[in-house]
Amino acid sequence: MHETRENDAASKPRVRSAARAIYILLAVARSPQGLKAKDISIALKLPRQATYHLIHTLLAVQMLRKNAHGAYVLGLGASAIADGFSRHLMPPEYLGPRVRMLVAATGETAYASGWIEGDVIALLAMRGSAAVSTAEVQTGLASQAHARASGKLLIALAETSERDEYLQRHKLTKRTKNTITSRSALAAELAVIRKQGYAIDDEEFTEGVCCLAVPIEGAGGRFALCISVPKDRFEANRKNYLKILREVANLQNENKPA
Express each pLDDT in 33-81 by its tens digit: 999 999 999 999 999 999 999 999 999 999 999 999 999 999 988 888 8
Q: What per-residue confidence (pLDDT) applies to 43?
A: 93
List of residues 6+ apart from 216 with CB closer than 8 A: 94, 95, 98, 112, 223, 224, 225, 249, 256
pTM of the model: 0.67
Q: Any idea which fold 2-81 has?
A: Arc Repressor Mutant, subunit A (1.10.10)
Check whether 253 has a pLDDT greater than 50: no
Distance in angstroms (rounded) separating the CA atoms of residues 107 and 121? 23
Domain positions in the chain? 2-81, 89-249
Homologous superfamily assigned to 89-249: GAF domain (3.30.450.40)
Q: How confident is the model at residue 13 (pLDDT cuts 50, 70, 90)?
A: very low
Q: What per-residue confidence (pLDDT) applies to 111?
A: 93
Asked if 124 contacts 111 with a C-beta cutoff of 8 angstroms, the reply is yes
Distance in angstroms (rounded) separating the CA atoms of residues 171 and 10? 37
CB atoms within 10 A of CB 34: 20
Question: To the nearest 5 percent, what fractions of the chain are helix, strand and coil?
Answer: 50, 15, 35
Phi then psi for 241, rounded to 5 degrees?
A: -60, -45
HSE, side-chain direction, 13 A CA sphere, residue 95: 22
Distance in angstroms (rounded) separating the CA atoms of residues 146 and 180? 7
Check whether 252 has a pLDDT greater than 80: no
| pLDDT, tens digit, 9 for 90 and up, residues 138-178 | 766 667 899 999 999 999 999 999 999 999 999 999 999 99
